[in-house]
Structure formats: C-alpha cells, structure tokens
Amino acid sequence: MRDDRRLAARPTYRGDEVQVSLPHNKLYGNDRKLYYSERERAVYQGMELTEPPSNPPSFATGLDGEPAPHRRVVPHKRKLYMPWTSEHIRWLFDTGEQLTTTDGKSVDIWELKVKKDDAVFSSWARHFRNHYCLDCEIDELRDGTGLCRSDYLCEHAFPDKSQPPGPSIRAGDFAEILVADFLEYVMSYWVPRFRYDEKAVRNESTKGTDILGFKFVSNEESLEDTLSVFEAKAKLTGKPLNRLQDAIDDSAKDFFVRKAETLNALKRRYIRAGKRSNALKIQRFQNKADHPYNEISGAAAILSKTAFSPQVLATTDSTIHPNNGNLKLIIIKGHNLMKLVHELFRRAADEA
C-alpha cells in the first residue's frame, strides 16, 4: 500500500505566503493543509494562536522525516499577526447588578467601558474587520475593482454608515460579535466566526441563529458537552425599548428550527473548507436524541445608556420559552455605543 504522505506536494501561493496541500496532515490534524504561516493556519482554523508549536517540523523533510527536496519555503515579506484578539474584553465589566423578570428570571448586567488605548482599539478593529473579510484574502478580493483596501471594505463588505438600513445592521452585527466574544473569552466556549464574510448583500442581516458556542469536557463524547445558542439584540440610540424581550422571543424560534439549520450550514462550510475535524465537532450536536448533551439558550440585549431602563426591562417575560429552565439572560450597557460602532468600522477600514 502506498503512503500518500510521500507523494510530492505542489505549493500554492497566497500573497507572500506558501502552503502545501497534503492528503493528510499529522501536525495540524485533518485539515488537509500544511500551512507555512502560523498566521494563515490561525486564520483558516478560526483560532487565536498565542505561541508557535514547541517542535515545528522542518520543511526540508516530509511528515515521515524523509527528505522532501520538492518542498521549498518562500520567505515572508509581510509582518505576520493573528487576526483575533480578546484584548478589548478587558473593557467589559460585570457590574454585579441584576434585574428580575416578571417570571422570576435573573438578568446579569454588564457594562462596556472603553478606555483611551489606541493599541487595544486597533487590535479590536482588526478583530472586527476579519469577521467580514480575512486580512489574507482582501487583496485578492479587491483585485480588479480598482479600489483600495479601505474603499473595498466600505463598499463591498461593511454595512453602510448612513444609508438605511445600514446603521441598524451595523448595530446588530456589533451586538452579535460582542456576545460571541463574551461567550468565547468570558465563558470559555469555542465560537466559530463564520457569519458575516459571505453576506450577498452587505446591508442585510445574516439569517439563522445569531451565535453558537460549543464546549467539550474531553476528547470523548460526554453528556456534559454543552451547546450554547444565543440571540443578541441592540438598541444603541434613542429611548428605552425592551430589546431583551425581542431576544428571548427570537431565541424561542431557534430551539426547534433555526438551530438545526445553522448547525447544518456551519458543518457544510467546514466540510467545503476541508476542515473535517471541525465539521465533526459540529456533527456531535446534530442529534441530541441519540447523542445527548447540555443545551443552554441565551438572550442578550446590548444597550446604550439612553436606551437602558430597569423599569422597562423588568417587564420581560420568558415563560413561553421552550428551554426556560436553561435560559441565560444578560444585558450589556455602555455610553455612546453607536458612536463606538462607527469608529470601529472606520478604523477597521482605514487600518486594513
């Protein structure tokens, strides 16, 4: 039987980087790609890499240690960095306050307090930008448009700043991404970041469940594995409105239909990207009857302080939610959040 790992691999190029496609890759799992760039591997796997591998392979040899003279490394000319960051989460504080809904549910209140720190803000803007367009793909995508990076993002990727419904889409996307960050960096879930980069129309919301978070207790299937399904709603300007109730109502719709559709769409994307290991992680949660797991539903309201009213929010009722016993409710409030959103999009474009 032949060993496919000994077959010659043809390099393909992405800008100043090179990757080699292989039938199987022992180093980084079953993603079918051997990445010559730590940045490119992290981008495609949707992960934050803080340290390089302790024993990186020599690219002068094959995975089996035998000489592989057909492989060569192209020196990197660009500064390589990770697109994802959790630095801005230091600005998210648990106030210790709670509200109680009419049916007795507790609502945790958090506050976003942005500080004057250009380095953190720039990292946040980069993190934000890569949800819509990966840095390693932007030059290839804008090629032929005649647009610079900033203009390409503003005209083809980001929701419009002023033309309706662009501003409301910006607010909604910001709320969803912030809650995804909360799930990943505060609650320690794995949160795939595939929601905004395949929008056919930039001024429309993405269909399906807002945020999915996955937690595994071990490498083996366990009853304690957890799927967290969150809906996020925003009110970043104007007078108080009970957006938490809206999030709860939409979360109820997720439980029976949209969750399954979103899991299927996410699994399909991983399969098409050649990331079988991640597709299998999604598959673990597709049949709860035969493969039981914990399921937490969540509803979050992201509110500017002018839209935050404890009296209005206290009228919230989650009685009819089908997963009422495992329903987590949170509110994140902040000052001038719409202004913050526009600044994030501006920096994300200008610093691309």
Report pLDDT digits (tens) over 186-232.
Answer: 999 999 998 899 888 999 998 889 999 999 999 999 999 999 999 99
Tell me: do 78 and 91 sit in the same domain: no
Q: Evaluate if residue 178 carries a pLDDT over 90.
A: yes
Q: Evaluate if residue 272 carries a pLDDT over 60.
A: yes
| Count of domains for the chain | 2
Mean pLDDT to the nearest integer, 322-344: 97
Longest CA–CA separation in the chain, Å: 72
Please, what is the Cα angle at 349 between 111 and 15, to 5 degrees? 125
Closest CA to 83 of 49, 121, 130, 125: 130
Q: Give the pair of three-digit tokens for residue 120.
A: 């953190």
Tell me: do 101 and 197 sit in the same domain: yes
- Concatenated DSSP letters for 266-296? HHHHHHHTT-HHHHHHHHTTS-TTTS--EEE
Phi then psi dihedrals of residue 31, to 5 deg: -80, -5
Tell me: do 43 and 111 sit in the same domain: no
Tell me: do 141 and 15 sit in the same domain: no
Mean pLDDT to the nearest integer, 103-108: 97
Mean pLDDT to the nearest integer, 58-83: 41
Virtual CA dihedral for 130, 134, 135, 138, nearest 10 degrees? -120
Q: What local confidence, expressed as pLDDT, does residue 89 receive?
A: 97
Closest CA to 168 of 233, 242, 88, 262: 233
Tell me: do 93 and 227 sit in the same domain: yes
Show which of 40, 66, 82 is a domain's final residue: 82
Considering only CA atoms, give the Rg of the chain.
22
Mean pLDDT to the nearest integer, 296-303: 98
Closest CA to 278 of 185, 347, 214: 214
Q: Evaluate if residue 78 carries a pLDDT over 70.
A: no
The CA distance from 336 to 100, in Å, is 25
Show which of 82, 103, 135 is a domain's final residue: 82
Tell me: do 135 and 188 sit in the same domain: yes
Tell me: do 182 and 225 sit in the same domain: yes
The more confidently predicted of residues 47 and 163 is 163
Task: Name the band, by pLDDT with cuts 50, 70 and 90, for residue 8.
Answer: very low
Closest CA to 229 of 208, 268, 265, 259: 259
For the ranges 17-26, 89-98, 129-138, the lowest mean pLDDT is seen at: 17-26
Tell me: do 120 and 30 sit in the same domain: no
The more confidently predicted of residues 285 and 63 is 285
Q: What local confidence, expressed as pLDDT, does residue 83 receive?
A: 86
- Report yes or no: 169 and 157 within 8 Å, Cβ to Cβ: no
Tell me: do 142 and 285 sit in the same domain: yes
Q: Evaluate if residue 64 carries a pLDDT over 70.
A: no
Mean pLDDT to the nearest integer, 232-255: 96
Q: Evaluate if residue 75 carries a pLDDT over 90.
A: no
Q: What local confidence, expressed as pLDDT, does residue 82 receive?
A: 63
Q: What local confidence, expressed as pLDDT, does residue 15 receive?
A: 39
The CA distance from 29 to 9, in Å, is 17
Tell me: do 70 and 110 sit in the same domain: no
Domain that holds residue 178: 87-350
Show which of 20, 48, 82 is a domain's final residue: 82
Task: Name the band, by pLDDT with cuts 50, 70 and 90, for residue 109.
Answer: very high
Q: The whole model's pTM is what?
A: 0.78
- Report yes or no: 132 and 157 within 8 Å, Cβ to Cβ: yes
The more confidently predicted of residues 48 and 311 is 311
SS3 at position 309 = coil
Closest CA to 331 of 167, 76, 100: 100
Fill in the amino acid letter for 282. I
Work out the mean pLDDT of the chain and round it to a whole number. Answer: 83
The angle that helices 118-132 and 166-181 make with each other, rounded to 10 degrees, is: 110
Tell me: do 92 and 75 sit in the same domain: no
Task: Name the band, by pLDDT with cuts 50, 70 and 90, for residue 23.
Answer: very low
- Report yes or no: 33 and 20 within 8 Å, Cβ to Cβ: yes
Tell me: do 123 and 74 sit in the same domain: no
Q: Which residues of 26-51 are buried (b: 16+ CB within 10 A; e: fewer)?
A: eeeeebebbbbbbbbbbbbbbeeeee
